[in-house]
Structure 1
């Protein structure tokens, strides 16, 4: 069915976060939800609530005592789906803080700063492979391999030869409505388990993997399952999310050529442009919580045990927080977007993601001009809790 077939009744009563129609028409649909029913209840998958306004989403994210991650971060999914036990996403404070502190120390600005030169080299190596052709599938040839190559090399010290396989597992694991998803969840966990075994044998490198392997959790050694779950978070957060932002940014550059032209002329604006791109097209679009007790959101009663999906993607385009919210505007007086989430579970890799996006966009607009989406291209998105274009076929003039 066409996107227009998403009716008001569907939004208010039958909202399905796994719907391909929502994936295609996400932002207009969320805008209608904010306007008509900002806290709606869906009868899909046994029932759940949807929060779409900035103020409500921020409150839910910060109130972990009432809206728990440990009790569930997804709504009941289709039969056969297996929820990923990723840490520390699926636990609450105070234990969550122990795991997050363990990871945070390895992704501070001071820690990742020395990775800039190597990151830029990876970006240019990928561009070198397609720039003379004047065309490429931007997702396949740049947006998807780049964050993985950088993350495998600089953060995980994992073999680059494994990246294509792991990228596939990570992408499929994010799509619970795809039959292959459950199998890829298990295969990703299996790869991580084998990788951790190899790292134990190789000796210390002083990186985040060493920190996970040697961690003590509440006075005891970290378990094997906890170590796998923690590295699983790093893999899922370090690969597909950055790829999705890059893909959406290229679509925007094709549709609004004045943006790359401005950034090419004034590269000092790129950090601010990254923030606006994250606000408009952040790929981490939503996540769930489960109510510990009876409570309310904006006057709507939420019962104990009921689930709520909060939409970062909607909050970041809320008219009450961002004037002219659908516009790319580098002159916003403030941009308090929550593309990386909010509250205790805010993304630990935000500094790394910002650096990767800044360097990638800098080199892309410097070396390539006149971006055009190929004629007849029908860009589709995979979209559940993360959203990314499946393919972005472009042509361009070499810079």
Structure 2
């Protein structure tokens, strides 16, 4: 009797050639099993939409990433101590308490106030790049835009933002890979230490009051009127800072690449701008910036017909779940009118992404700008390179070309030949 071969290890996704065909690789994993034991990772890997979505909200599975800090390598231990206090890696009641505090800054109404600021930032970036006819969408747009917005929310002075961004890179790398060396882990821990020190100084400074309606103002008022553990608060501010721009950066880059590779879909959005909110959801499903969620079994349990032992790790592959044909017919097709189906790019259950409304709004505004402000936008002939991560999916750069503005010789001014500006974009995209 023929015994089917066990699925390949998820670690193969770290190879550059696998990144190029990542969703084909996920199909191979899913066709073998929707939940399988990965010996190299010493963890269960869930690939099917049904098991991923159900497990994400299953109270029998814990979100705690580092249950035993002392078991972590010495170089990574300082980072692990901070991550263990963040709501992303916490369970109720701590998770519920922290989320209730920070969610006030990310309600649809609070996010809607940012529309003008986001639009202005995008316009400034594109106006600066327009005369050249060239842009690296990652470096010139996808990275600075969400960094600007989350730093505005935290009240971070403009001159400090590049430094904070440089610290987030090593931290994101450590979160996204279990195969970093001691130097990488040490760099991640040091970056987190620098980030916390900066945020402590920012939130406690007395010389400059926090700008009104910012997250800094909300947090300052909260700490003055409660017994909030300040170190815990700092840890979660660091989470917002890093997650608030790293994941949105990847989403913008991935979405732009998808449209460049599917010109018919891009033309559809130009002619039917009312589809942009739906396009944001479909692009999140199609190439998710966050590829997996980690859970740990509180006790022995049954999951998708398998027995998961107490303490074992379960990796929930959001990227694979979002291409599961059982949940999304023709999942490799980019369809902005796709009926039904709920993607898990923002997670699922209690840990659903706190910044989802903000990411949706930023995505909608960027899509509108790319489609209307950069005529004949096209992909440059350059090899694509993905960041080496199991957790995050994002390009290191995305070089594009477009028609630069022409000179009006009578007036001496520059004019950009654009499509008509779509009306009413973004309003539906700010809702969760």
What TM-score results when the alignment is normalised by the length of structure 2?
0.83
Structure 1 counterpart SS, 2:316: strand
Structure 2 counterpart SS, 1:239: helix
Structure 2 counterpart SS, 1:388: coil
CA distance in 2, matches of 1:127, 1:85: 39
2:188 corresponds, among 175, 184, 195, to 184
Mapped pair 1:225 → 2:231: yes
Distance 1:377 1:347, change over 3 A: same
Indicate if the aligned counterparts of 1:33 and 1:52 stay in contact, CA closer than 8 A: yes
Mapped pair 1:59 → 2:39: no
Distance 1:337 1:274, change over 3 A: same
User: CA offsets, 1:112-160, max 9 Å, x none?
Assistant: 112111110000111112111111211111111111012212x111112
**Which segment drifts farther, 207-216 or 329-338?**
207-216
CA distance in 2, matches of 1:309, 1:138: 31
Indicate if the aligned counterparts of 2:138 and 2:398 stay in contact, CA closer than 8 A: yes
**What do you get for the CA RMSD once the two structures are aligned?**
2.6
Structure 1 counterpart SS, 2:375: strand
User: CA offsets, 1:26-53, max 9 Å, x none?
Assistant: 21111111111221111224x1110011
1:32 corresponds, among 9, 28, 31, to 28
Indicate if the aligned counterparts of 2:296 and 2:311 stay in contact, CA closer than 8 A: yes
Indicate if the aligned counterparts of 2:13 and 2:22 stay in contact, CA closer than 8 A: no
Distance 1:255 1:206, change over 3 A: closer
CA distance in 2, matches of 1:187, 1:332: 42
Indicate if the aligned counterparts of 2:290 and 2:319 stay in contact, CA closer than 8 A: yes
How many residue pairs get aligned? The number is: 387
Mapped pair 1:117 → 2:116: yes
Structure 2: runs of 5+ lacking an equivalent: 405-417, 419-432
Indicate if the aligned counterparts of 1:39 and 1:51 stay in contact, CA closer than 8 A: yes
Equivalent residue, structure 2, for 1:240:
246
Equivalent residue, structure 1, for 2:165:
167
Distance 1:352 1:24, change over 3 A: same
Structure 1: runs of 5+ lacking an equivalent: 1-7
Q: CA deviation at 1:165?
A: 2.1
Structure 2 counterpart SS, 1:340: coil
Q: CA deviation at 1:181?
A: 4.9
Distance 1:119 1:376, change over 3 A: closer
Indicate if the aligned counterparts of 1:369 and 1:397 stay in contact, CA closer than 8 A: yes
Equivalent residue, structure 2, for 1:290:
296
Equivalent residue, structure 1, for 2:144:
145
Trace 1:65-144 onto structure 2 (pairs within 5 A).
65-70=59-64, 72=66, 80-81=75-76, 82-83=79-80, 84-85=83-84, 87-144=86-143
Equivalent residue, structure 1, for 2:424:
none
CA distance in 2, matches of 1:136, 1:161: 23
What TM-score results when the alignment is normalised by the length of structure 1?
0.89
